[in-house]
């Protein structure tokens, strides 16, 4: 199954980093779209089929928390799993984002391998591929 | 006269004091710098003497934060380190980097350092972090500023962080 | 049937597709062992390098590229490809990088070796499947070519298999 991924982060190079991890992780990524803030993300979601959202929090115009709030309020969009990837690792923020329906929370800095693991947990490892599995 | 609410000051770092005498905030700064640079930039940061002539030509960025704490952070990376650091992060050869990517990596490194720093310093707080802006290095007054220089194999970096007086919203002026 | 051992020394590298063999390297202190295995063709390689960057001694790197991460790892990957290994399928595991006093008296070289491997592999487009690195003990590593299983012995301890870390069952929180 090919996943369509939406990456939401105001840093173009962080979006590139995440895109690279996706490509190297063994997931079959169909379409990978990007947005620089929550507003752009909502616009993307109105025109693209998205299977998973990876979102930062601190962004101009509309931050990740407001984005999640809007997604949660939408009967269709709330079903799309969202993984938060943020520098904000304060306890209250993490709890609020999880309460808003985030499937997981990764704090920056993170290694490519740890993002892969978290993606596997959120997506399931159906498409991780044999090359990433060490059989016991 | 407008009253300005003062926030708790940052503790002053000891100059070149042994680790056991460094303030908790100083230790957090060192720990965070090391963790960020090792995890996503594959390099090792070690505390270095503060000699600032290189900062004039450094690539620097400033980032503000607000909420339960109000302040800003300044980050500087020596000129010779920009290409190797940006290339490491993106998994590219230095020759493949664009001008835009160099600046964006500096901004994102500043963003990650600031976020990690404030999250470690004030984990129970409620904060939002602004977008980082490229700027030239500024020497902030020593009082109220936590500042450290680091050496990495690729060059040098400097970090300054300070809390600022929180401005009251309009209407509270006396 | 007994497996035949192919010993990889310090600053050394071996590549094989013989499914009846095991690649072994000993005395991994601050050095890093990079194990690579193609689960389809069984082409496997084990590199044991000492130092992160060849720029400190280009002539030595010329004589023996396996002494350094930045010359050894690309050479290992080229050899695997020449032997029929597919880059995208490679399962890569790292061991070593301990903080031990090496011949130059430098404690930090283990970490630098580890960071060098991570940087080079990220640039090469390879994610690490599993690792047993750091600490303060010397390690022995062996890679079974037929199965891709990697075994590590730390200090005088028992040998254990290095298995890829599974995803945590709940949301990740900062430690």
Q: How far apart are CA C7 and CA C143, in angstroms?
A: 11
Mind telling me how many Å the CA of B114 is from chain A's nearest CA? 8
In sequence order, which ranges of B19-98 are alpha helices (DSSP H)?
Answer: 24-41, 79-90
Which two tokens mark C98?
């301990």
Give me the pLDDT at residue B25, please: 85
Nearest CA in chain C to B37: C115
DSSP string, C11-24: TEEEEE--TTEEEE
Active site residues of C: 31
**What percent of chain B stands above pLDDT 70?**
84
Complex ipTM: 0.89
| Neighboring chain C residues of B87 at a CB cutoff of 8 Å | 123
Give me the pLDDT at residue B19, please: 56
| Tokens 């060490």, residue located | A134
pLDDT in tens, chain A (136 residues): 789 999 999 999 999 999 999 999 988 888 999 999 999 999 999 999 999 999 999 999 999 999 999 999 999 999 999 999 999 999 999 999 999 999 999 999 999 999 999 998 988 743 444 334 433 3
Instruction: Encode pLDDT of C81-102 as tens digits.
Output: 999 999 999 999 999 999 987 6
Give me the pLDDT at residue B2, please: 33
Backbone angles phi, psi at A2, to 5 degrees: -95, 130
Those of residues 124-163 in C touching chain B at CB distance below 8 A are 125
Band (pLDDT 50/70/90 cuts) for residue C166 is: low
Give me the pLDDT at residue C169, please: 46
Q: How far is CA A116 from CA A13, A120, B4, B54, C129, in A?
A: 18, 6, 47, 38, 10
Q: How many CB pairs under 8 A join B and C?
A: 23
| Neighboring chain A residues of B111 at a CB cutoff of 8 Å | 11, 58, 87, 108
Q: How far is CA B98 from CA B82, B83, B86, B94, in A?
A: 12, 10, 10, 9
Instruction: Encode pLDDT of B86-108 as tens digits.
Output: 999 999 999 999 999 999 999 99
Q: How far apart are CA B85 and CA B72, in angstroms?
A: 23
Give me the pLDDT at residue B18, please: 56
Q: Tell me whether residues B101 and A13 touch, CB distance under 8 A.
A: yes
Mean pLDDT of the C48-67 span: 96
Mind telling me how many Å the CA of A136 is from chain C's nearest CA? 7
Nearest Cα neighbor of C68 from C13, C130, C139 is C13
Instruction: Encode pLDDT of C109-118 as tens digits.
Output: 999 999 999 9
Q: How far apart are CA A4 and CA A20, in angstroms?
A: 15
Mean pLDDT of the C57-74 span: 97
Nearest CA in chain C to B43: C115
Give me the pLDDT at residue C105, please: 60
Which two tokens mark B42?
């594959």
Give me the pLDDT at residue A127, please: 42
- B108 near A CB under 8 A: yes
Q: Tell me whether residues C168 and A134 touch, CB distance under 8 A.
A: no
Q: How far is CA C168 from CA A44, A83, A103, B116, in A?
A: 30, 14, 12, 22
Give me the pLDDT at residue B1, please: 35
Q: Tell me whether residues A60 and B104 touch, CB distance under 8 A.
A: no
Instruction: Encode pLDDT of C24-54 as tens digits.
Output: 999 999 999 999 999 999 999 999 999 999 9
Give me the pLDDT at residue C21, please: 97
Nearest CA in chain B to A16: B90
* A88 Cβ contact partners less than 8 Å away, ≥ 6 residues apart: A57, A58, A107, B115, B119, B127, B129
Band (pLDDT 50/70/90 cuts) for residue B168 is: confident
Q: How far apart are CA C141 and CA C161, in angstroms?
A: 10
Give me the pLDDT at residue C168, please: 52
Give me the pLDDT at residue A124, please: 73
Which two tokens mark C55?
């720029």
């Amino acid at each position: 199954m090919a996943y369509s991924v939406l990456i939401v982060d105001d840093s173009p190079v962080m979006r590139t980093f995440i895109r690279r991890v996706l490509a190297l992780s063994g997931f079959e990524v169909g379409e990978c779209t990007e947005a620089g803030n929550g507003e752009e993300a909502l616009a993307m979601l109105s025109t693209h089929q998205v299977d998973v959202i990876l979102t930062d929090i601190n962004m101009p115009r509309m931050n990740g928390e407001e984005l999640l709030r809007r997604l949660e309020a939408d009967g269709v969009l709330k079903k799309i799993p969202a993984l938060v990837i943020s520098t904000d690792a304060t306890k209250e923020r993490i709890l609020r984002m999880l309460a808003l329906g985030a499937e997981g929370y990764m704090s920056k800095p993170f290694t490519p391998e740890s993002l892969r693991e978290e993606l596997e947990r959120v997506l399931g490892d159906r498409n991780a591929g044999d090359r990433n599995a060490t059989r016991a | 006269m407008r009253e300005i609410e003062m926030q708790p000051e940052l503790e002053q770092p000891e100059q070149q004091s042994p680790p056991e005498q460094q303030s908790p905030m100083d230790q957090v700064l060192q720990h965070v710098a090391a963790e960020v640079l090792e995890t996503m930039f594959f390099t090792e940061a070690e505390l270095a003497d503060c000699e600032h002539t290189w900062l004039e030509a450094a690539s620097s960025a400033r980032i503000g934060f607000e909420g339960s704490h109000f302040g800003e952070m300044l980050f500087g990376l020596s000129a010779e380190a920009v290409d190797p650091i940006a290339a490491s992060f993106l998994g590219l050869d230095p020759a493949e980097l664009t001008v835009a990517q160099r600046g964006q990596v500096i901004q994102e490194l500043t963003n990650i350092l600031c976020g990690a720093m404030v999250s470690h310093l004030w984990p129970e707080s409620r904060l939002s972090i602004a977008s980082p802006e490229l700027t030239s290095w500024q020497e902030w007054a020593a009082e109220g500023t936590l500042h450290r220089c680091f050496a990495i194999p690729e060059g040098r970096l400097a970090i300054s962080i300070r809390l600022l007086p929180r401005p009251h919203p309009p209407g509270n002026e006396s | 049937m007994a497996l035949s051992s192919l010993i990889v020394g310090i600053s050394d590298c071996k590549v094989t597709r013989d499914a009846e063999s095991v690649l072994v390297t000993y005395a991994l202190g601050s050095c890093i062992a990079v194990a690579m295995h193609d689960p389809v063709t069984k082409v496997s390689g084990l590199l044991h390098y000492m130092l992160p960057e060849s720029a400190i001694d280009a002539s030595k790197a010329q004589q023996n590229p396996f002494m350094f991460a930045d010359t050894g790892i690309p050479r290992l990957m080229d050899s695997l490809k020449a032997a029929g290994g597919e880059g995208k399928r490679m399962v890569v595991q790292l061991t070593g990088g301990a903080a031990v006093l090496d011949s130059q008296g430098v404690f930090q070289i283990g970490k630098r070796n580890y960071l060098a491997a991570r940087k080079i592999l990220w640039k090469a487009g390879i994610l690490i499947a599993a690792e047993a690195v750091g600490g303060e003990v010397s390690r022995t590593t062996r890679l079974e070519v037929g199965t891709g299983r990697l075994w590590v012995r730390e200090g005088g301890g028992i040998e254990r298999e290095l298995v890829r870390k599974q995803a945590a069952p709940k949301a990740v929180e900062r430690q």
